[in-house]
Amino acid sequence: MVAEGIHSLVDTGNSGLMLLGRSRSRRGPDDAHPFGHGMELYFWSFLVAMVIFGGGGCLSIYEGVRALLHPRAVTELWPNYLVIAAAAIFETASLVIGLREFGAYRRELRFAGSMLDVMRESEDAAALAGLAVAAAGLTLSHLLDMPAIDAAASMVTARS
């Protein structure tokens, strides 16, 4: 659950950074930037990629290794499932919004790629798959009384 908490925190921070980058990139030209600040969007996107890798992936793997070395049995399942369910609801909403936007983009520009290709590339679809792995790891860990399964699920879901 710590890994899922890290993922949620990283995702929230990344959204904020992308909004900041989008806002800053829309500023007009000035003396130091005669062509405007549009390139700032690429800087903030790069920063988000580094945060996803460093903050999300590495910390999740660290948490999984720590849990493997010092296993603890899960005592209360319902808070964990509550967090996973809430995250799944938010990720599903984000995926639906993204698919709607893509549909509009596709109609507008006559994009030839398939919706399935877009879903394969979607961070939201990967997040939902990661939540499913986390729930399965938690359940199996509890049913089989093997905390290592939950730790391994944490490392498998080391994604954005």
Percent helix, strand, coil in the chain, to 5, is: 80, 0, 20
- Mean pLDDT computed over every residue of the chain: 81
Q: Indicate the SS3 state at residue 129.
A: helix
**Residue boundaries of the structural domains of the chain:** 2-156
Backbone torsion region of residue 151, taken as left when φ is above 0, otherwise alpha when ψ lies between -120 and 50, otherwise beta: alpha
State how far the Cα of 98 lies from the Cα of 103, in Å rounded to an integer.
Answer: 9
In contact, 57 and 158? CB cutoff 8 Å: yes
pLDDT at 139: 92
Q: Using CB atoms within 10 Å of the CB of residue 98, give its burial: 0 to 12 exposed, 13 to 18 middle, 19+ buried.
A: middle
User: Quick one: average pLDDT of 147-153?
Assistant: 89
Residue 116 has pLDDT above 70, yes or no: no
Residue 160 has pLDDT above 50, yes or no: no
State how far the Cα of 31 lies from the Cα of 29, in Å rounded to an integer.
Answer: 7
- Kindly report the CA angle at 91 between 126 and 110, in degrees rounded to 5? 75
Task: Look up residue 125 and give its two tokens.
Answer: 């679809």
User: Quick one: average pLDDT of 4-27?
Assistant: 81
**Close Cβ partners of 38 (under 8 Å, ≥ 6 residues apart):** 25, 26
Residue 30 has pLDDT above 70, yes or no: yes
Whether the CA torsion 13, 18, 19, 20 is positive or negative: it is: positive
